[in-house]
């Protein structure tokens, strides 16, 4: 396995571990993020009449399960589809920068801030690795096309 893949694999394990520690931090110091996430789903449930809330919940679980399953399938396929999924993990890490904004607005520590630095760093590193690999693949395709044309 090339060194670049080994680094990317280590970064994926790191961001998974950081996610677990990040949730642990929030469980210890406040689950405000959970309440925000829960409120975000209010719009979903509002699309359904009250007597259909169970169906709305099952449909949401099915949609999320399908997205996760497609991610697994992309990882099994390898190549660019796998890189898209890996890049999404990088995006998850990068979005944690919002903890910095919250802390600045609050003028104090907010739950999730401490681990958000590692999360953002790992997300940035993953995005860099994926970008580098995609550029390398494009370059290799161009060289292969030139070789075939010659």
pLDDT score of 3:
66
pLDDT digits (tens), the chain, 150 positions: 556 688 999 999 999 999 999 999 999 999 888 888 888 889 999 999 999 999 999 999 999 999 999 999 999 999 999 999 999 999 999 999 999 999 999 999 999 999 999 999 999 999 999 999 999 999 998 888 888 887
pLDDT score of 5:
82
For the chain, the distance separating the N- and C-terminal CA atoms, rounded to the nearest angstrom, is 30
pLDDT score of 2:
58
CA 4 to CA 130: how far, in whole Å? 10
pLDDT score of 4:
62
Q: Residues 6 or more apart from 4 whose CB is under 8 A from it? A: 129, 132, 133
Inter-residue contact 129 to 93 (CB < 8 Å): no
CA 99 to CA 116: how far, in whole Å? 7
**CA nearest to 130, candidates 14, 1, 12:** 12
pLDDT score of 38:
85
pLDDT score of 149:
84
């Amino acid at each position: 396995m090339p060194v670049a893949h080994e680094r990317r694999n280590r970064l994926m394990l790191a961001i998974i571990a950081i996610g677990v520690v990040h949730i642990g931090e929030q469980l210890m110091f406040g689950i405000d993020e959970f309440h925000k996430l829960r409120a975000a789903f209010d719009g979903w449930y509002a699309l359904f009449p009250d007597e259909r809330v169970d169906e709305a919940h099952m449909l949401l679980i099915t949609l999320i399960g399908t997205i996760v399953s497609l991610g697994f399938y992309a990882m099994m396929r390898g190549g660019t589809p796998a890189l898209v999924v890996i890049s999404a993990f990088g995006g998850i890490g990068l979005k944690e920068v919002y903890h910095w904004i919250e802390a600045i607005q609050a003028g104090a520590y907010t739950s999730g801030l401490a681990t958000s630095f590692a999360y953002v760093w790992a997300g940035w590193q993953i995005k860099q690795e994926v970008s580098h690999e995609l550029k390398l693949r494009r370059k290799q395709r161009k060289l292969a096309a030139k070789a075939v044309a010659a």
